[in-house]
Structure 1
Amino acid sequence: MAETNNSMVMEFILLGFSDLPSLQGFLFGIFLIIYISILVGNGLIIIITKVTAALQTPMYFFLGNFAFLEICYTSVTIPRMLSDLWTQKKNISLIACAVQLGFFLSIGGTESFFLAVMSYDRYVAICKPLYYPLIMNPKKCNQLVTGAWVIGIPIQVAQTCQLFSLSFCGSNKLNHVFCDIPPILKLACGDTSLNELSVFCGAMIFVTSPALLILWSYINIIKTILMLPSAMGRRKAFSTCSSHLIVVGLFYGSAFIAYFRPKSSHSPEVDKVLALFYTIVTPLFNPLIYSLRNRDVIAAIKQLIPK
């Protein structure tokens, strides 16, 4: 590896939290606890949606798959962060960085579409209740899950290949906690305007499009709920959607801020905080949000614990 302006970079150095040398051990412990909590919390959601007879519905089928998706999402970044904090060996090859970024983008795109699928499920359940069993049949549910998983892979892999086809020269210090597009672009040589346009288009496809579908779904859901004659019926309908809305707000709120804010306002510190928010905080709180606000899930957990 060389670090001069006339040589090509063969690996990056993930700076991470190197500006906090006295807190490396503390941060390792915090992230380890968070990762274990994510695995346990989402793993519990997967188990109860599989073994509890009362939860064998499309809504909980999607929730179980979403919990598995969250485990995959965090496993792309946190183990590497833990390794860097423990060993203090922060170098990562270009190939390893490209692999991490490819998985991160693909799974992130899947999560975005998965939230849209879950909002569509709530739309059909509330706005078309008589047709719900017919529309959300097992075959349709499997098709929606498969589509959410595979729809973004070709585009995100192509975007990753396009990014790493650039030349990297000069500094090889990647001022981030994992391999992400904005900090990598800062280290690229030459004109990156085409790559920036590609990133913007990708964000429009994988963030804005599902967000608009979710918005359309909930506009119709709210209209239908407000037309219900019973206050108890309105309250019950809102309660089935509130958990999903909170998760949507956490994920899309941080994603919009991270990828659509002006370039002049970007700073490594803010980028790190936002990255930690949508890769760690959201998956950590998802099991709590869905369990504490859902009586069926709480009842299933109480039945499972004695066993």
Structure 2
Amino acid sequence: MSVFTGAGVALVTPMNQDGSVNYEKLAELVEFHIKNSTDAIIICGTTGEASTLSDEEHIECIRYCCEVADKRIPVVAGTGSNCTQSAIDLSVKAVEAGADALLVVTPYYNKCTQNGLKAHYKAIAEAVNVPIIMYNIPGRTGVKIMPETVVSLCEEVSNIVGVKDATGDLSEVADVLGLAKKRGVQVDLYSGNDDQIVPILSLGGKGVISVLSNILPQETHDMTQAYFDKDTEKAADLQLKYCDLIRGLFCEVNPIPVKKAMNLMGMNVGSLRAPLTEMEDVNAAKLEKAMKDVKLI
């Protein structure tokens, strides 16, 4: 069974004015997503600024999110690292904190081989008893999980269940799902790009791990649900409706724009942690226009 189908939110980590994690606001965001039909919460991923959280903050965010969600919605915890042992340690602690599944990014900077990726993911999977979704984002990590590696790991390891694909390459997605179908292997593939939700669903994807869901949770859920309900016209219309907004959300590196958008909407999620900085004025103006066009502000 899939960890989830539909629209999972890549949740931001809200900050207080002094830069500390705002747990009260985090609870509000979890309730907001449950109320607005989000299908899963992905905590401490790229959008959650996991790379600038201390290990203690990282685990506390996961624990607190799981406590508030209280099994009403799956919580997927980001636990990747470029050090295999660090990823194992973080994954074990995340499961102890209540995570229903893990999102594990490829080791960054090291640029390991495909054999290295296999050994990395197998070691993590052996240490935990929850499903693992691999995270393929070569633009950030410098290494790509090749289709053969994705399918082999899902075939060989019972709790490696799929991949979040943020390659931006639909041909790559087709290669993964085509190879999986040919070999009779179940690979749950989630879009890591909000501008490719419907195209990836059409190839057999299970949903999206979405930045857009932070500000349009119901609409992003509805986009995926329409597709599952075979109303492909509605799904496509929603995808196209939010093209400019999605472009605005990625006109600077994520999560800079989405935090700006949430603050413009009065959600008060606070600032970013260095080295991320506030949006440049010209890009902020583009984002604000796109938000006004869809009546978000």
Q: Same fold (TM over 0.5)?
A: no
Task: Please classify the TM superposition score into its range, dividing by the shorter chain length.
Answer: under 0.3
Structure with the higher fraction of residues in strand conformation: 2
Based on CA coordinates, which of the two structures has the bigger radius of gyration? 1
Q: TM-score, normalized by length of structure 2?
A: 0.25
Structure with the higher fraction of residues in helix conformation: 1
Q: TM-score, normalized by length of structure 1?
A: 0.24
